[in-house]
């Protein structure tokens, strides 16, 4: 049985969450297949994707349990409900939108709430967020995460922004439970050209690097 707790565990085990901002709804299924082939099974389809709920529904139907499909860039309640109705297993908000937590938990699904400051991160956690999305993390970096977790070690942090092949190790060593990977994986050139073999190859580099780092920690 799929539960909120099992989804959180799956996301932590997966380690990498592909943040998908597709150009079209139709791209969602083939790019998801490419990600799975490259070893990345956690897929966050953002509401910046045209017809995002339909994209979530199509990927969920096509890939089934092979993928952990969620919704990203959720900032309004109607988006949250649409994502859950489409089959999203997790919901991600880039901002501190704690009002989304209750409906997601009522659906027995997981939610990641956005934060930037220590106060926002702790507020998200105390409000019941399953994970805390530090965003944008590119200007903060692993050193910020390490400093943040020193007084707040219980925070289940997932940074998004600035996660690249060369930053996987420092982010994980800083104590992140998973990493959100966006444009460094789903590059503009790949999306513009529908180059799914290139996406599979790049996804494999990320998943291999994750395994290497986890074995060394």
Among 184, 180, 178, 154, smallest CA distance to 166 is for 184
- Packing angle of the helix pair 28-37, 196-216 (nearest 10 deg): 40
The DSSP secondary-structure symbol of 74 reads -
State yes or no: is 44 an active-site residue.
yes
Which of 5, 44, 169, 173 is flagged as catalytic? 44
Is residue 201 within 8 A of residue 209, CB to CB? The reply is: no
Which of 8, 133, 169, 188 is flagged as catalytic? 133
CA atoms within 13 A on the CB side of 54: 8
Q: Kindly report the three-state secondary structure assignment for every residue of 140-186.
A: CHHHHHHHHHCCCCCCCEEEECCCCCCCHHHHHHCCCCCEEECCCCC
Residues contacting 155, CB < 8 A, separation 6+: 121, 122, 125, 132, 148, 149
State yes or no: is 54 an active-site residue.
no
Active-site positions read 44, 133
């Amino acid at each position: 049985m799929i539960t909120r707790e099992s989804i959180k565990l799956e996301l932590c085990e997966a380690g990498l969450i592909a943040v998908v901002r597709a150009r079209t709804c139709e791209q969602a299924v083939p790019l998801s297949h490419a990600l799975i082939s490259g070893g990345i099974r956690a897929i966050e389809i953002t509401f910046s994707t045209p017809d995002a709920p339909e994209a979530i529904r199509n990927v969920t139907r096509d890939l089934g349990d092979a993928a952990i499909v969620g919704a990203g860039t959720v900032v309004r309640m109607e988006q949250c409900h649409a994502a859950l109705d489409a089959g999203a297993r997790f919901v991600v908000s880039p901002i501190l939108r704690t009002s989304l937590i209750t409906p997601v938990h009522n659906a027995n699904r997981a939610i990641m709430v956005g934060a930037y400051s220590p106060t926002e991160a702790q507020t998200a956690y105390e409000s019941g967020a399953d994970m805390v999305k530090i965003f944008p993390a590119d200007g903060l970096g692993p050193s910020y995460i390490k400093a943040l977790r020193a007084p707040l070690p219980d925070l289940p942090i997932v940074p998004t922004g600035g996660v690249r092949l060369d930053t996987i190790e420092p982010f994980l060593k800083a104590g992140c439970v998973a990493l959100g990977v966006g444009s460094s994986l789903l590059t503009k050139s790949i999306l513009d050209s529908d180059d799914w073999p290139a996406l599979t190859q790049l996804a494999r580099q990320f998943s291999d690097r994750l395994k290497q780092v986890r074995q060394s920690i």
